[in-house]
Amino acid sequence: MPISNLAATSALQTLQNINKQLETTTQRISTGNRINSAKDNATYWSVAVTAQSDVGGMEAVKTSLDYASGYLSVAVSGIELAREKLQEARDVLVTANNAGADFDLIDSQTRALIDDALAAVNGSEFNGTNLLTLDSASTTSVSFVVALENGSGAPATMSIATSGLTMVNATTAGQLNPVTDAYATGGSVASINTAALANTAIGVIDTAIDNLLSAEGTLGASLTRVESQQTFNQALIDAKSQAISDLLSADMEAESTRLQALQTQQALAIEALAIANNQTSSILALFR
């Protein structure tokens, strides 16, 4: 007649159950998550995976917004500096109306300041592109992704018309071209040697300053919108990331306590199984 060892069977089942719990607890501690797959909780897992996909998309939007912010910030700074240099040139030209004005000095100072304005514009490049020197005839607008969705499933974009933003360009009339044309050989103020010519130059520069102010306002408003979207997008990333953490994260303190308890239970179960097996061996020895 076969001899069954109910105590050993029970101890083995207990040990297997403890080992399974230990495996789950160890995985939670190693990953930091209480839900690691759909089998742990299908509903929460599905919600978390969807949210993680959204966060991935928002991170891509963040990259686009960071690029747009840099692109526009550089352009705004370039226009601002160019406008300031033109204003300085205008201030110098005003002195031509003073008695005993040094026209040679006024002319050279004005040209140097205009060169500085042009350098500011030409130096406003970001990642290989300069918004202030684009050919606005061929590139009529620039666009950036500013949100994950526009309400119809596609990413939301912000488009900026380049008309009025080009400062200098070889093929398109830029806002500074009238200034450079006026100062060029054969231009209306090719050489400033009278107060009248200085006043003509002031008129040309005033028009350029007004145009630069308009362009600066357009780009500044666009930059403000981008910065607002950056703040909003980051808030969404933070909120969704926190929601994912709340859904999936394990209570590490509780899991650590549970791990210690299970390890103790495992040791006791192994000991109980050994005792049960020893009892069987002792009984079998009686029949030898």
Residues in a beta bridge with 156? 147
Say if residues 55 and 244 touch (Cβ distance below 8 Å): yes
pLDDT classification of 227: cutoffs 50, 70, 90: very high
| Assigned token pair, 130 | 């300069």
Candidates 188, 186, 185; CA nearest to 207 is 188
Residues in a beta bridge with 126? 129
CA angle 195–197–202, rounded 5-degree value: 90
Residue 281: what pLDDT? 55
Region of poorest pLDDT, from 61-65, 77-81, 88-92, 254-258: 254-258
Q: Give the residue, 164 or 111, on which the prediction is more confident.
A: 111
Q: Note the pTM of the prediction, 2 decimals.
A: 0.74
Q: Which tens digit of pLDDT belongs to each residue from 138-195?
A: 888 889 998 887 667 788 899 988 888 888 876 777 889 899 999 887 888 888 999 9
Region of poorest pLDDT, from 59-73, 83-97, 114-128, 163-177: 163-177
pLDDT classification of 44: cutoffs 50, 70, 90: confident
- Averaged pLDDT of the chain: 85
Say if residues 130 and 71 touch (Cβ distance below 8 Å): no
Q: Give the residue, 5 or 209, on which the prediction is more confident.
A: 209
pLDDT classification of 1: cutoffs 50, 70, 90: very low
CB atoms within 10 A of CB 222: 21
Candidates 219, 216, 217, 80; CA nearest to 158 is 219
- Separation of alpha carbons 4 and 8, rounded Å: 9
- Separation of alpha carbons 19 and 26, rounded Å: 10
Name the CATH superfamily housing domain 42-248.
Answer: f41 fragment of flagellin, N-terminal domain (1.20.1330.10)
Residues in a beta bridge with 249? 33
Describe the chain by its helix, strand, coil percentages, rounded to 5. 70, 5, 25
- Separation of alpha carbons 86 and 77, rounded Å: 14
Residue 238: what pLDDT? 94
- Separation of alpha carbons 133 and 114, rounded Å: 16
What residue segments make up the domains of the chain, in order of their start?
Answer: 42-248, 251-288
Backbone φ, ψ for residue 170 (5° rounding): -70, -30
DSSP conformation class of 167: -
Residue 214: what pLDDT? 94
